Amino acid sequence: MKFCEEAAFFLHVMILFLDDVLMNILKMLAYLFPILFIIYGVLAQPANPPPQKWQTLSGYPPLVIARGGFSGIFPESSQYAYQFAVSPSSLKNVVLFCDLQLTKDSIGICKADLRLDNSTNIASIFPKRGNTYKVNGQPIRGWFSIDFTAEELFNNVTLVQNIYSRPSIFDGVMPISTIDDVQGLKPPQLWLNVQYSTFYKEHKLDALNFIKLASQDIQFNFISSPEIDFLKNVDVSSMKTKPKLIFRFLDAGSVEPASNKTYGDLLEDLVNIKTFASGILVQKEYIWPVDHNGYLAPSTGLVTHAHRVGLEVYASGFANDAPGSYSNNFDPVDEYLQFIDNSKFSVDGVVTDFPSTASEAIACFAHNKNKALSGEGQPLVITHNGASGIYPGSTDIAYKQAVDDGADIIDCSVQMSKDAILFCLDSADLSGSTTAMPKFMSKSTTIPEIQNNTGIFTFDLTWIEIQSLKPNLVSPYSSLGLVRNPVAKNMGKILTLSEFLSFAKNSSVPGVLINIKNAPYLASKKGLSIVDAVSTALANASYDKDKTKRVLIQSDDSSVLSAFKKKNTFYEYVLLIPEQVGDAPKPTIDEIKQFANAINVIRSSLMAYDGAFISHYTDVTTEMHKSNISVYVSVLKNEFTTIAYDFFSDPIVEIATFVGGIGVDGLITEYPATARAYLNLNAKLSYTILPAEAGGLAGLAAPEALPPAQSPAPPLRPVDVVDPPLPDVANLTNPAQAQTPGSEPKESGQLSNTAFNTHLCILIMMLSFFCLRHQ
């Protein structure tokens, strides 16, 4: 009994203790609850702000799908092509695209064209084994995989580049890839395209059976085909991964075999396609047509319609070296942005030969509308005759476009007319950049001091005669089919220097570059002092005192820069070095410092080429920077033919190399929008556009396949940069020279001195005749 009483007492004490503890805990929670709520709220937030939602069907960024790997550089579907496509140059989730072909013994290989002779050396290895087959009802002659065993192909046949504008140094060294080879690279995602299922079935080979067996070991993420029956019979349920089935549209006029309808007709019934496919693969022209003039037509609305019925849309046909429209000005990133960042829709993926460019478009440039000018520490964007890749150079519209595109410095190469009017034009020879031919063909001549070939020169025509001409948009690679903006071929107005300076002063552009050539010739042979005339024009426009605008004076003649420097130390002086140099020794740099703050060098002075590959980068920039001399590189163009293979036919990668790899201080370009877009990228992006490694691509080729090494460029010597003093201005009797050098032309209605004297003589003669009659 006593034990029970003690137990009851102990239990009562414990209850009182626990009750007190519980009350204290509740009081603590009352104080801690707001703090815990705040902590929970903080922890509930993502570490980084949510990414901007895309207009893809899923809301995630579009996929980069590498057709045959990095086939823009390496032979399509080769080992190098696939390896390079999954390197850091592409997004991490890149999709490797394999076009399935079947061998005689049912081994799956990756090859885009049904005819192997287009991209291998098979015709020379087996010259007698070509054949003719009907494919989609049309007879085709070639060498086909169905006529060869896998062993025959792998042991004898090698791959070659089938597009002649692409590198050939990797030809003949890599075998055909199997699908197992591609899977061995452990790609993030794999896309199998079955283009010719019916053809193989006609020859006792079964693509469906191949996929069923292969899918036991290979993870297919996408399976596409232009054949409806094939897709309907793919058994996705039996596969480890459940690939998306994609219906591929061929040309709108081609006929799909099962439905007997054209692909254009099938496009009108996307609801039905959704019953057997989760997406469609179309040529890019299905989405953004190109009109008969070569410009983008309005988008078709296909993407919006397909998304509305739940179909993803993948666009094909992207390649940096196959420009699709004049509207993109040879900028491949701009073309991608049309499809992924146009404010109305985004495709769900792009099939491309250059996955690095598609990656940078998606990861860097989409949703990036920053147009700020260069900040401190950034290279200047300097134009070459304004935005001369889009409009005729040195015209009002070329300069306006350059300002709109974010140029820091717009340039005027000053020329002089016969009557001493200063105006902007790239060359003293009018025959290329204007319509002077054939109107003034009789005035063509050869002046060895200026150029070797015959020309029609500005100083042989009056300003009124020059004004009668139209500017001409120069397409330097038109012979290769790369024509610039043809609708603007003769648009715009040539500006006088005074008009140019006024435009720049009233614009947002921070400065101007005045380029002066041929000063000794003009002084000694034409009696024209271009230095005095330009100096007067700058003073008249208040540039000599206004420090809100930078003024860069450029010349290839040190005596011009020295003469200007004596007049104004406020200006910045740029020595133009148009010849290729390989080094810049200190004695030469010491000479340059006497009259220039910067140099303007051609691209090959900063990077040495072996053929179309970069062999090494020179030390010119480093040596100049040691002496505090800025380095500007010229002239950058978007056309892929000007860009080394190491840059993947991508002007952005070239710019990234000059800026991030070499460290130049200015980019002189005919496409300022491209340079500005790169310089305005967010520095904290997860994807980095890497500078090209010199010799990186060529190092993968066999030594005997490389082009002959070029002789090293000579060093820049003091004698190369120091010119004789300017000659005195010749005192020539020139009746046409009625203007003061640097002054504006007279209004057309103003009576000139010559005309006034003529009228006075006539009046005196009439009075004399009148007096004689009345004597």
What residues form DSSP beta bridges with 185? none
Q: Select from 324, 363, 319 the least CA-distant residue to 341.
A: 363
CA distance 248 to 228: 9
pLDDT for the residue numbered 466: 98
pLDDT for the residue numbered 51: 53
Tokens of 253: 């006029």
CA distance 672 to 687: 23
Contacts of 74 (CB under 8 A, 6+ apart): 80, 81, 84, 161, 167, 170
Q: Select from 261, 198, 202, 204 the least CA-distant residue to 225.
A: 198
Phi-psi region of 70 (alpha: psi -120 to 50; beta: other; left: phi over 0): beta
Residue 486 CB coordination number (10 Å): 13
CA distance 668 to 632: 7
Q: Which residue has the tokens 């949510």?
A: 50
Greatest Cα pair distance, the chain, in angstroms, is 174
Q: Select from 262, 299, 298, 303 the least CA-distant residue to 282.
A: 303
CA distance 384 to 402: 10
Q: Which residue has the tokens 């290989």?
A: 109
Q: What is the DSSP annotation of 131-153?
A: EEEEETTEEEEE-BGGGS-HHHH
Contact 516, 416 (CB under 8 A): no
Q: How many CA atoms lie within 13 A of 399 on its CB side?
A: 30
Residue 395 gets which letter from DSSP? B
Residue 633 CB coordination number (10 Å): 28
| DSSP β-ladder status, 422-424 and 511-516 | unpaired
pLDDT for the residue numbered 711: 87
Backbone angles phi, psi at 124, to 5 degrees: -85, -25
Contacts of 719 (CB under 8 A, 6+ apart): none
> pTM value?
0.88
CA distance 68 to 99: 8
What residues form DSSP beta bridges with 632? 600, 666
Judged by DSSP in three states, 511 sits in: strand
CA distance 458 to 425: 9
Cis, bond preceding 160 (omega within 30 deg of 0): no
Distance, C-alpha 457 to centroid of its chain: 34
Residue 495 CB coordination number (10 Å): 21
For 121-221, where are the alpha helices, taking DSSP H only? 122-125, 150-156, 179-184, 197-202, 207-214
The angle at the Cα of 437, spanning 434 to 441, to the nearest 5 degrees, equals 135
Sign of CA dihedral 326, 332, 333, 337: positive
CA distance 742 to 753: 19
CA distance 692 to 662: 10
Q: What is the pLDDT of residues 389-434, one digit of tens each?
A: 999 999 999 999 999 999 999 999 999 999 999 999 999 999 999 9
pLDDT for the residue numbered 376: 83
Indicate the burial class of 50 (C-beta count within 10 angstroms; 0-12, 13-18, 19 or more). exposed
- Any idea how long the chain is? 775
Alpha-carbon Rg for the chain, nearest whole angstrom, is: 35
Contact 386, 401 (CB under 8 A): yes
Tokens of 590: 């010491």
Cis, bond preceding 520 (omega within 30 deg of 0): no
Q: Assign 3-class secondary structure to 435-502.
A: CHHHHCHHHCECCCCCCCCCECEHHHCCHHHHHCCCECCCCCEHHHCECCCHHHCCCCCECEHHHHHH
How far is CA 278 from each of CA 51, 265, 351, rounded to the nearest angstrom? 25, 19, 17
CA distance 85 to 718: 47
Sign of CA dihedral 120, 126, 128, 134: negative
* Residue type, position 726, single letter: L
The angle at the Cα of 192, spanning 189 to 194, to the nearest 5 degrees, equals 170
pLDDT for the residue numbered 736: 45
Contacts of 59 (CB under 8 A, 6+ apart): 53
Q: What is the DSSP annotation of 31-77?
A: HHHHHHHHHHHHHHS-SSPPPPPPSSSSSSPPEEEEETTTTTTSPTT
Q: Select from 378, 304, 402, 289 the least CA-distant residue to 344.
A: 304
pLDDT for the residue numbered 733: 61
Q: Which residue has the tokens 């006029």?
A: 253
* Residue type, position 228, single letter: I
CA distance 540 to 553: 16
Question: May I ask the CATH architecture of the domain 380-720?
Answer: Alpha-Beta Barrel (3.20)
pLDDT for the residue numbered 46: 37
Q: Indicate the domain borders of the chain.
A: 63-114+179-365, 380-720
What residues form DSSP beta bridges with 669? 383, 636
- Using 70 as the pLDDT threshold, list the residues of the chain that sit under it: 1-52, 733-775
Q: Assign 3-class secondary structure to 399-434.
A: HHHHHHCCCCEEEEEEEECCCCCEEECCCCEHHHHE
CATH number of 63-114+179-365: 3.20.20.190
Contact 310, 336 (CB under 8 A): no
Q: Which residue has the tokens 């024509």?
A: 483
Domain 63-114+179-365 and domain 380-720, same fold? Reply is yes
Q: Select from 281, 322, 312, 71 the least CA-distant residue to 193.
A: 281
User: Could you give the dihedral angle defined by the CA atoms of residues 49, 50, 52 and 54, in that order, rounded to the nearest 10 degrees?
Assistant: 170
Contact 428, 459 (CB under 8 A): yes
| DSSP β-ladder status, 138-142 and 131-135 | antiparallel
